[in-house]
Amino acid sequence: MTTTTIKVDGMSCGGCSSRVGKLLAELPGVTKASVELEPGLAQVEFDDARVDLDALLTVIRDAGFEARTPAA
């Protein structure tokens, strides 16, 4: 298992953070997704043999939010 933290910009309410968490959790290979509205971070635990970081970022972006790894 791999754990990563993703910076998510554009969330304005608890519904936004819940939606991002649900979308991440629905991806095959994601075992845990926790999203905090403030400071705008998603902590994701996933099986990197089934899903990669690009897929995580894409699902967030497709939902209308900006996403990047904090180091980027």
Type of residue at 21: G
pLDDT at res. 14: 92
**Average pLDDT along the chain:** 94
Query: What are the domain boundaries of the chain?
Result: 2-68
Which alpha helices (H) appear in 11-52, and where do they start and end?
14-25
Distance CA 13, CA 30 (A): 23
Q: What percent of the chain has pLDDT over 70?
A: 96
CATH architecture of the domain with residue range 2-68: 2-Layer Sandwich (3.30)
Model-wide pTM > 0.85: yes
pLDDT tens digit string along 43-60?
999 999 999 999 999 999
Q: Are 43 and 25 in contact (CB under 8 A)?
A: no
